[in-house]
Chain A
Amino acid sequence: MKHFGRFLGLCFLLLGVMHSTMAQRVITGKVSSVTDGTALPGVNVVVKGSNNGTSTDANGQYSISVPSGTVTLTFSFIGLESQDITVGQGRSVVNVEMAESATELTQVVVTGYNQTQRKDIIGSITTIKSDKFKDIPVVGVDQALQGQAAGVQISQSSGTPGGGISVRIRGNTSISASNRPLFIVDGVPIYDGPVSGRSFGGQQDNAISIINPNDIESIEVLKDASAKAIYGSRGANGVVLITTKRGRNNKTLITADVQRGITDIVKRPQVLNATQLLELQREAVINAGQDPDKQGLIKGVTDGVNTDWVDAVLRQGVLQQYQISAAGGNDRTRFYLSGNVRDEEGVQLNNRFTRYSGALNVDHKASARLNVGANINMSLSQNNRVKGDNFLDGVYSGAIKSLPYYSPYNEQGELYGPNSAGYAGFPNFNPVGQAVLPRFVTYGLKIITGVNADYEIMKNLRFRTKFSMDYNNSEEDQYEPSGTAIGGFLPSVGGKGYGVYITNTDYTIINSNVLTYYLSLNDTHHFNTLLGNEIIHSQGRSSSVSGRLFPSDDFTYLNSAGVVDAGGSGFGQNGLVSFFGEVKYDFKDKYLFGLTARYDGSSRFGQNRRFGLFPSVSAGWRVSQESFMESLPFISELKLRGSYGFTGNERIGGFQFLGTWASVTYNGATGVGPANLSNPNLQWERTREANIGFDASLWDGRLTVTADAYSNLTDNLLFAQPIPLTTGFGSIQGNIGMISNKGLELTVSTVNVDRAVRWSTDLNLSRNINNVEALANQDTLFRGYSGNGVGGTNAILEGSPLGTFWGLKFLGVDPATGNAIYEDINGDGRISPDDGQVIGTAQPLFFGGFTNRVSWKGFDLSVFFQFMYGNKTLNFTNTTLVNTGADIENNQSITALRRWQEEGDVTDVPRYELGNTYNNFHSSRFLEDGSYLRLKNLSIGYNLPARWASRVKMSGVRVFASGTNLWTLTPYSGADPEVSTLDGSTTAQGIDFFTLPQVKTMLLGLTVKF
């Protein structure tokens, strides 16, 4: 520190010397915007080759003293194209019109604790501006990223509004710890997990959906070590930096935005009607040598009712969104404020997600050197949820399985409850009742807020400090009345009504302090340096209480419960203390070097391994700056990049290193027992990342290409290490095992036509190869669901990627007998769990997005496709819906119509026989190609000509129509390949188990600017 002080002193001295050389004449002028002629305050005006400079005032005026003779003035402003203007001796007024940066390369990119221009970036960073998703009615920022960035794989787990979304950047790095990237909003790492404390059968909710994406200005995805190392132990899974909108210093712009539309399921599952099902069931019973009439399967009687259950629980939903925002300011104070209401009816009855949000961002220039700012982003959400997927009492899941012989209502129009003859209950429960009767409301509150100050200690040396908070609260208010499965079917659970109340609070407080210093020596050596520290403290609190035996279904709160017999509360916290630094150096803007490191201390690790260092080095070469490239004038920019470094993953939950004892009770006596054996050497998962790539811009930005290749290896995998059970412990958390991710990413943007008609195309394409390199276990680790006849649906194996599917290999149906043929790999003459094998993977060969935009006069059209190829989807639904007669309690898919019926039939669906589970063993029969190409969004807009708009005192009016998920091309036989019942799972992704398909949305919107 002392040396640094001396160095600072030296700088002051130099400054003093420079300031003493005074100029001989004054140039004045005004800087205005080329687009609308408005004054541009704050533009830097510098005499080129000197430190002599000023900036424009509120009216865009400037005045600068320059040496006599011809000088060159450089006008620059973030986001605008810099201009050099040579001013002769005789000229004293220079008015300048500045345009917004035309090429990507000069755009400002937020890089963690700093920002820089794209041309100076050496890391792999993808920027997504909000206009890329402004017409897509995304509920959250994670959804907005889908198909937009190379290397970023996003799958929505289901069509449930406000539901879980899987986000993976450059693959999965971990088995036990989280694989989600770090989400940072305006410098605040935000809680991004589920808010709810109760399982709903698979689908979770999603804290990110509580942030209004319409307040977002841009999203930066940091992908390689050079970009991420500044986030150290939290960076391994990538970092998503979200920058919210802020005011500009011009006249106040008020924007009102209205969107209204309808939602519907992308595709309905195809199940049998009563007659088809009855025929099938009778055949199954006869094949088992029994009499179908005695089972109550009587033609003309049993199928007298034919209910379309899917129809009975689904509807067309209404989606509406209203937003009003104001942005503006002057040269001292800028602000952005907004209010937003979004209301989305789910396609399942009684399912609805409503969000109210508001934002206020203020930046104030307190003095020439001091800027202060504050932001608050607050959202309230109400999520009316319904159960699904793996729950027998789910709605959509129950509807697919329900026998069409039953009706939802009796003759009096009352819902059949459990235990009634009209709808027998177990294993399925009246799905209409399960939808409309219970109350499952989750109230969410999310506040992201912070204050910051930025002080310019001396020219180019700035100190920034920031105090921020991310606060999340949820309250779940639930009641299942006696007409539901939980509330009425099992006397041991609910009996007469079942009420639950759960609260969860998670918050993070963060303080960061950053010094930045920019140094330019002779305009050839440029140093951009940063030094900072950060403390993060997170806390979680939860409570829950449940009760049963209510006097009647008119009493639905726990005050009225006959027995309040379960409850609990919890508390957890963790801390992170960090120091970080960065040096970026370039020589003549041509050779770029970067050195970044973060030193993190985390409360999640043992004393011996509490601190870790995460360094990275990077280098870039802007080939296009070389003189020999002048012979290739069509190359406007070519940059080669490379980086190498380390990042970590600390998200393993708390106290895993600690030997702990947990409390237990025994018939009312309380006691303790060992819970965990200590491992003081437990440490972070560490990912070694190497990346090479290039950025090229040709023909003045008509074609830009970014390509990256990376090879990452995660070691010290956090994993339960098996130890002898005779110790009394099953495992200790250890750092064993390795996972690699290698991949290629390509982003191509072209401007195909740029005349009256402007047509541009964006394509991104990614390939990631994930592989488990080493594991400590010799046993096959089964994950996912337990499979009938095999160990499980998924396995973790050395040499296979995470998300590997396991099962018997289905070789077809024996035309002679109609029985399934499975591969007997151990050749023991019988099919046993030992014949289980790897049958596929959920990892795609490649995925990406493809967008075309066309504009002509006031019209604009955007066509956005998103695709995934080569991945398998497990149609686990069909273990019930094409169950070959294992039971006759569930409806069947139309696939069952292809079943083997008589000798000689060549088909892929085995014979139906009641009680035969052999034909229904878990096998590759249920594994399907899950590739898809989806028209993710199609939108058409029209901007009213400015002269029309101005007549009604508006600066802009845009009307648009937008549709999402309108069309899907897929070989998958289920309703939707893009689902995952185990929401958030890495080892068992891509399983469709009665999962609600995505919804398509069609809406009309109007945007008005004043």
Chain B
Amino acid sequence: MRYIVKQMLTLATGALLLTACNSQLDVKPVNTIDAGSAVATSGDVEALLVGAYDALGDGDVYGGNIIRDAELLGDNGEIFWDGTFVAPDQIFRKSLLVDNDQAASTWLDSYRTINIANNVLDNLDVVTNANRSRVEGEAKFIRGLVYFALIQQYAKAWTDGTPSANPGVPLILEPTTEITEASKVSRNTVAEVYTQIIQDLTQAETALPASNSFFTTKGAAAALLARVYLLQGRYADAATAATRVISSGRYSLVPIEDVFDLRINQNGVNTAEDIFSVQVTDQDGVNNLNTFFASADYGGRGDILIEDAHLNLYTADDLRGQLFYDDGNGIYTAKWINQYGNIKVLRLAEMYLIRAEANLRNNSSIGAAPLADINRIRTRAGLAPLTTVTLNNILRERRLELAFEGLQLYDLKRTRSNVGALPYNSPKLIFPIPRREIDANSNLEQNAGY
């Protein structure tokens, strides 16, 4: 009897001890990995870099909405927002509220991208020597591109007041590992942010290879620098940077009907003209420009209609005037008709336009004369070449060539032009710092007008 009791107790105790083993509780996730063990090898860092591209391609970043919102907020009566979503409707009507959820989403997803890029840059030491320079260049390009988008959307324009005094956006250059008081950052000045952007892009241009599949290249960094310099009025630098892209010989203008992906439901491809584009396929990526600019027949919501005011800008022989279609409810742009098409961030035509404008304003002919550059764009569009060129010629050509590609608002601000009845420096043309963000971080200063 006593023996049995003893045995039973031993058994029971054994069971208790056995089960006390904590290993039962150490289950591991399968679809995610523990952040602590995520970056150990060069392959891990490169996977992280792919993650940065994926984040860059998020619908709220360069998956489309950054470009869409620059067109909606910068619209001068050439398009009409016919959608039901509240946030873009407020943007279109230039009456954003502090809780506009697009303002919050773009902010979050942009900083999410920056954080991944920062993670890559923080772990460059484990990348193999052969790849380190490229990886660094790609991460810096992505970080520079996103900061450029943020500074334009959430802060006063470079042309508005004193950039070294105007609040910009917080510069976060280290990866986030934990939440501390230091996470409650303040806004850097506009000038500081631009300095960082130029530094990132300059280093990226040095570090990047000339060719790099559909990822970023030396040319992409130079092209973005050209855009930044033009915006800052550094015309010689802009023309020089654009020339570096053009004369690299890696890109060429394609026939006008091939510039945009007019196929339907096909995986995106880059053309010879594309310098950098966000990749979209039917398996991954999202083309929010299709979502909002394309009609329901082509997988979109049909929210953005093109008004006659825009269509009337094209002369009859302008081939670009044919990049529109009517689905019965209204006119849509065909630029984003392929729902799996890539989103073009930088293409060669813009480089000619930048160089032409920069040279004209600078009274120089870096790379080529402004007339030659503008006529390249015109003749490709089926138009007769000009014999003389004015600034207005160039700006009008820019508007027609780059319509709905996310440059409208910033071109207007850069040229100090009105947006409808609003002056270029109206606070209504700047996104609010998201209210939620101000609530979570008392160190952030809200933009004027909110």
If the complex has contacts A665-B284, A666-B50, A671-B54, are A463 and B8 also in contact, measured as CB distance less than 8 A?
A: yes
A-B contact pairs, 20 of them (CB 8 A): A12-B2, A426-B296, A457-B4, A570-B30, A571-B30, A577-B22, A658-B35, A659-B177, A670-B50, A671-B51, A674-B35, A674-B115, A677-B176, A722-B440, A724-B185, A724-B440, A724-B441, A729-B112, A729-B176, A779-B439
> Are A655 and B32 neighbours in the complex by a CB distance under 8 Å?
yes
> Are B34 and A659 neighbours in the complex by a CB distance under 8 Å?
yes
Select one of A426, A570, A666, A724 contacting B284, CB under 8 A. Answer: A666
> Are B13 and A1 neighbours in the complex by a CB distance under 8 Å?
yes
Q: What CA separation (Å) do A795 and B47 show in the bound complex?
A: 40
> Are A673 and B54 neighbours in the complex by a CB distance under 8 Å?
yes
A779 to chain B, nearest CB (A): 6
Q: Identify which of B57, B111, B185, B279 gathers the most chain A CB atoms within 10 Å of its CB.
A: B111
A672 at the B interface (CB under 8 A):
yes
> Are B107 and A667 neighbours in the complex by a CB distance under 8 Å?
no
A362 at the B interface (CB under 8 A):
no
If the complex has contacts A535-B24, A673-B55, are A660 and B33 also in contact, measured as CB distance less than 8 A?
A: yes
Which chain A residue shows the least CB distance to B339?
A492
Select one of B19, B54, B115, B184 contacting A535, CB under 8 A. Answer: B19
> Are B50 and A664 neighbours in the complex by a CB distance under 8 Å?
yes
Q: What CA separation (Å) do A669 and B57 show in the bound complex?
A: 13
C-beta contact mask, B47-63 vs A, less than 8 Å → 1, else 0?
A: 11111111101000000
> Are A664 and B51 neighbours in the complex by a CB distance under 8 Å?
yes
Which A residues lie at the B interface, using CB under 8 A? 1, 5, 8, 12, 426, 455, 457-458, 463, 465, 491-492, 511, 513, 515, 533, 535, 537, 565, 570-577, 579, 601-603, 610, 654-655, 658-678, 722-730, 732, 777-779, 833
Shortest 8 CB-CB contacts between residues of A and residues of B: A671-B50, A728-B115, A673-B51, A659-B35, A667-B279, A660-B32, A664-B54, A671-B51
Segment at the A interface, from B226-234, B324-332, B403-411, B430-438: B430-438
Which chain B residue shows the least CB distance to A9?
B2
- Residues on A with C-beta less than 8 A from B179 are 677, 723, 727, 732
C-beta contact mask, B108-128 vs A, less than 8 Å → 1, else 0?
A: 100111111011000000000
Give the secondary structure class of B's interface: helix
- Residues on A with C-beta less than 8 A from B284 are 664-668
B172 at the A interface (CB under 8 A):
yes
B308 at the A interface (CB under 8 A):
no
B307 at the A interface (CB under 8 A):
no
Which chain A residue shows the least CB distance to B297?
A491
Which chain B residue shows the least CB distance to A675?
B32
> Are A666 and B54 neighbours in the complex by a CB distance under 8 Å?
yes
- Residues on B with C-beta less than 8 A from A601 are 22, 24-25
> Are B108 and A725 neighbours in the complex by a CB distance under 8 Å?
yes
Q: What CA separation (Å) do A663 and B31 show in the bound complex?
A: 7
- Residues on B with C-beta less than 8 A from A654 are 27, 29
- Residues on B with C-beta less than 8 A from A579 are 16
Which B residues lie at the A interface, using CB under 8 A? 1-2, 4-5, 8-9, 12-13, 15-16, 19-20, 22, 24-27, 29-36, 38, 44, 46-55, 57, 86, 97, 99, 104, 107-108, 111-116, 118-119, 170, 172, 176-179, 183-185, 214, 265, 268, 279-285, 296, 299, 339, 434-437, 439-441, 444
Q: What CA separation (Å) do A654 and B114 show in the bound complex?
A: 27
Which chain B residue shows the least CB distance to A461?
B5
If the complex has contacts A457-B5, A573-B27, are A672 and B176 also in contact, measured as CB distance less than 8 A?
A: no
> Are B437 and A725 neighbours in the complex by a CB distance under 8 Å?
yes
- Residues on A with C-beta less than 8 A from B55 are 664, 673
Select one of B38, B111, B285 contacting A666, CB under 8 A. Answer: B285
Select one of A655, A671, A722 contacting B47, CB under 8 A. Answer: A671
- Residues on A with C-beta less than 8 A from B441 are 724, 726
- Residues on A with C-beta less than 8 A from B176 are 677, 727-729
Q: What CA separation (Å) do A571 and B436 show in the bound complex?
A: 35
> Are B8 and A572 neighbours in the complex by a CB distance under 8 Å?
no
> Are B29 and A610 neighbours in the complex by a CB distance under 8 Å?
no
In the complex, besides A663-B31, A724-B440, 9 extra interface pairs with C-beta distance below 8 angstroms are A5-B9, A12-B1, A570-B30, A572-B30, A601-B22, A665-B54, A722-B436, A729-B112, A777-B439
> Are A723 and B30 neighbours in the complex by a CB distance under 8 Å?
no
> Are A661 and B24 neighbours in the complex by a CB distance under 8 Å?
no
Which chain B residue shows the least CB distance to A789?
B86
A669 to chain B, nearest CB (A): 5
> Are A726 and B281 neighbours in the complex by a CB distance under 8 Å?
no
> Are B31 and A724 neighbours in the complex by a CB distance under 8 Å?
no
Q: What CA separation (Å) do A573 and B177 show in the bound complex?
A: 26
> Are B183 and A724 neighbours in the complex by a CB distance under 8 Å?
yes
Which chain B residue shows the least CB distance to A538?
B27
Give the secondary structure class of A's interface: strand
Q: Identify which of B97, B108, B113 gathers the most chain A CB atoms within 10 Å of its CB.
A: B108
If the complex has contacts A603-B27, A670-B47, A722-B436, are A728 and B114 also in contact, measured as CB distance less than 8 A?
A: yes
Q: Identify which of A535, A565, A667 gathers the most chain B CB atoms within 10 Å of its CB.
A: A667
A14 to chain B, nearest CB (A): 14
Q: What CA separation (Å) do A668 and B172 show in the bound complex?
A: 29
- Residues on B with C-beta less than 8 A from A666 are 50-51, 53-54, 57, 279, 284-285
If the complex has contacts A457-B8, A666-B50, A677-B179, are A658 and B34 also in contact, measured as CB distance less than 8 A?
A: yes
Select one of B2, B19, B111 contacting A577, CB under 8 A. Answer: B19
Q: Identify which of B26, B114, B283, B440 gathers the most chain A CB atoms within 10 Å of its CB.
A: B440
Q: Identify which of A457, A610, A659, A725 gathers the most chain B CB atoms within 10 Å of its CB.
A: A725
> Are A678 and B108 neighbours in the complex by a CB distance under 8 Å?
no
> Are B281 and A667 neighbours in the complex by a CB distance under 8 Å?
yes
- Residues on A with C-beta less than 8 A from B54 are 664-666, 671, 673
> Are B115 and A8 neighbours in the complex by a CB distance under 8 Å?
no
A138 to chain B, nearest CB (A): 36
> Are B282 and A565 neighbours in the complex by a CB distance under 8 Å?
yes
> Are A575 and B99 neighbours in the complex by a CB distance under 8 Å?
no
Select one of B47, B115, B299 contacting A672, CB under 8 A. Answer: B47
Q: What CA separation (Å) do A654 and B28 show in the bound complex?
A: 9
Which chain A residue shows the least CB distance to B33?
A661
Q: Identify which of B47, B285, B339, B437 gathers the most chain A CB atoms within 10 Å of its CB.
A: B47
> Are B31 and A570 neighbours in the complex by a CB distance under 8 Å?
yes
> Are A672 and B38 neighbours in the complex by a CB distance under 8 Å?
yes
B154 to chain A, nearest CB (A): 11
Select one of B5, B38, B99, B434 contacting A458, CB under 8 A. Answer: B5
B26 to chain A, nearest CB (A): 7
Which chain B residue shows the least CB distance to A678?
B35
Q: What CA separation (Å) do A658 and B172 show in the bound complex?
A: 23
- Residues on A with C-beta less than 8 A from B2 are 12
Which chain B residue shows the least CB distance to A534?
B19
Which chain B residue shows the least CB distance to A578?
B19
B340 to chain A, nearest CB (A): 9
> Are A667 and B52 neighbours in the complex by a CB distance under 8 Å?
no
B300 to chain A, nearest CB (A): 10
> Are B53 and A671 neighbours in the complex by a CB distance under 8 Å?
yes
Q: What CA separation (Å) do A602 and B24 show in the bound complex?
A: 9
- Residues on B with C-beta less than 8 A from A577 are 19-20, 22, 24-25
Which chain B residue shows the least CB distance to A602?
B25
- Residues on A with C-beta less than 8 A from B268 are 667
Q: What CA separation (Å) do A654 and B30 show in the bound complex?
A: 11
A566 to chain B, nearest CB (A): 8
If the complex has contacts A667-B285, A725-B104, A726-B172, are A658 and B50 also in contact, measured as CB distance less than 8 A?
A: no
Q: What CA separation (Å) do A671 and B285 show in the bound complex?
A: 13
- Residues on A with C-beta less than 8 A from B285 are 666-667
> Are B265 and A492 neighbours in the complex by a CB distance under 8 Å?
yes
Q: What CA separation (Å) do A533 and B12 show in the bound complex?
A: 9
Q: What CA separation (Å) do A491 and B2 show in the bound complex?
A: 78
Select one of A533, A576, A727, A728 contacting B15, CB under 8 A. Answer: A533
If the complex has contacts A12-B2, A455-B8, are A662 and B32 also in contact, measured as CB distance less than 8 A?
A: yes
> Are B49 and A671 neighbours in the complex by a CB distance under 8 Å?
yes
Q: What CA separation (Å) do A610 and B53 show in the bound complex?
A: 36
- Residues on B with C-beta less than 8 A from A728 are 111-116, 118, 172, 176
Q: What CA separation (Å) do A574 and B27 show in the bound complex?
A: 6
